[in-house]
Amino acid sequence: MDPQTASYYRAVLHTDSTDERPVPESLVRLHMWAVKRNHALGLGGMITKATALAIGLTWLSATEEGRLFSRDHTKLGDMFLAFEADEDEDEDDGEGEDAPFDVPAATDEDWAALKSGADVVVTMKSGVKRPGQFVSRSGGWAEVTVNGAVKNFRVGKVQITGVEASG
């Protein structure tokens, strides 16, 4: 990476383009990928300041190393660390612990027989199990209504409690 481009990344990461700390290795890899794509698009090999900002923000928000860096060195860290939360998980609604659900794992035959509206239980990332209603299944994903919102969950996180429902 040329010194001028490295100074762009240092300005993004440390708010000082003259800072002498090395640019993180994973950011360098992302930069090299962007340079190759610039060449493939006929844009040349130079990374502009705006492109460096976009690459830097992508690195900060999309990589574990970047999110940890943002937590420790920027005011944006709390925003980027929010991406680590499971998208399928709802916040605790203050209703206390849900009742435990002991339901056997579903087989392919169970999924094939399941109708829309059937009762299911979804295991959230935190381990809390929430009741829901099955909507549809596509491959390894099940669409389920939980707390009034339709969300997609991996089939392994969804247990079938009811086989027959309105369809």
Owning domain of residue 43: 3-84
Q: Are residues 76 and 23 in the same domain?
A: yes
DSSP-assigned letter for residue 79: H
Q: How far apart are CA 69 and CA 163, in angstroms?
A: 47
The pLDDT confidence band at residue 83, using thresholds 50, 70 and 90, is: very low
pTM: 0.49
72 in any annotated domain: yes
- Indicate whether 32 pLDDT > 50: yes
Q: How far apart are CA 48 and CA 4, in angstroms?
A: 10
20 in any annotated domain: yes
Q: Are residues 79 and 133 in the same domain?
A: no
Cβ count near 111 (within 10 Å): 14
- Indicate whether 28 pLDDT > 60: yes
Q: How far apart are CA 76 and CA 151, in angstroms?
A: 27
13 in any annotated domain: yes
66 in any annotated domain: yes
